[in-house]
Amino acid sequence: MADHKGIFGLPLEVFDDLMSTLDYESVLAFRQTCRLAASLVPLTTVAQARQALKTTLLARERAEYERRQVAYANQRRWAGVYPQSVQPIAPPQADVVANIISLGSALNNIHRNHITRAEQLNCYSCLKALPRECFVESQVTGRRSLGHHEARRRFCRTCGVTKGIWEKGTVIRDGRCTLVLCKACNNLKTPTPESKNEGMCELCHHEATCEMCQRKPPESLLETAAEPRTAQPSTRATRCQRCWAISHTEVPLGSTGSHLCPGCEAAVSSA
């Protein structure tokens, strides 16, 4: 009978050639399937695939940065030669200040030619190209902006929280907003001035300082809760089979098998 081992039955040379054609995400996912896959794919192979992907992302970002620089230089040269090419026609009295605002007109001309900021950037922690909204402002401006010196150190919000790059209680500036990585819920939220000093979000800080939430129940309630409850038989209104009345009897289920009210049961037993 044939032995079907699948990919694990391939010769080692063929298996290595197959692994070399996979990208980083595929190699990592395959290695995490089982122990045999982990033993066949060493960590060095995963590290090499990760480094190759990171190098590719850096090269693409650098190429995009250089393309933008060339486009910016071309548009600036065009704006210097034709500063009013996209400006509205100015009235005659505006000619006096035309030279004063020439720089502003040139820059306006550049922006009207759609040289805008990068809306997609690389996270070099999870090695993915993500929208700009996935990063805090400090990770997409300055030295960590597109193509700059510390771009390789850029990380997204999710990696900052889940991978422990930000410590709990860290206060983070996101443009004009202030965020805090809450010590209690481990989420990135907007704090109040009081909760920011404690390194917590508004809700967790309120729960931690609220007197009603911290108040202990009375001892009488604790004693009542500690006492075991005794099971009581359920009751329901039953119709007496002798006097056919239901308003004066409520017999526990299973207490008697006569289906009579207490008065009729006493009369029958005395007779």
What distance in Å separates the CA atoms of residue 20 and residue 18, rounded to the nearest whole number? Answer: 5
Cα distances from 28 to residues 25, 32, 159, 168, in angstroms, run 5, 6, 17, 28
- pTM of the complete model: 0.61
pLDDT digits (tens, 9 = 90+) for 43-57: 888 999 999 999 999
pLDDT beyond 70 at 223: no
pLDDT at res. 15: 84
pLDDT beyond 60 at 252: no
pLDDT digits (tens, 9 = 90+) for 70-95: 888 887 787 777 666 555 444 555 45
Q: So where are the chain's domains?
A: 12-41, 166-212
pLDDT at res. 130: 94
Task: Compute the half-sphere exposure of residue 208: CA atoms within 13 Å on the CB side of its CA.
Answer: 14
Do the Cβ atoms of 146 and 61 come closer than 8 Å?
A: yes
What distance in Å separates the CA atoms of residue 169 and residue 155, rounded to the nearest whole number? Answer: 18
> Is the pLDDT higher at 97 or at 271?
271
pLDDT at res. 96: 47
pLDDT digits (tens, 9 = 90+) for 120-175: 999 999 999 999 999 999 999 999 999 999 999 999 999 999 998 999 999 999 88
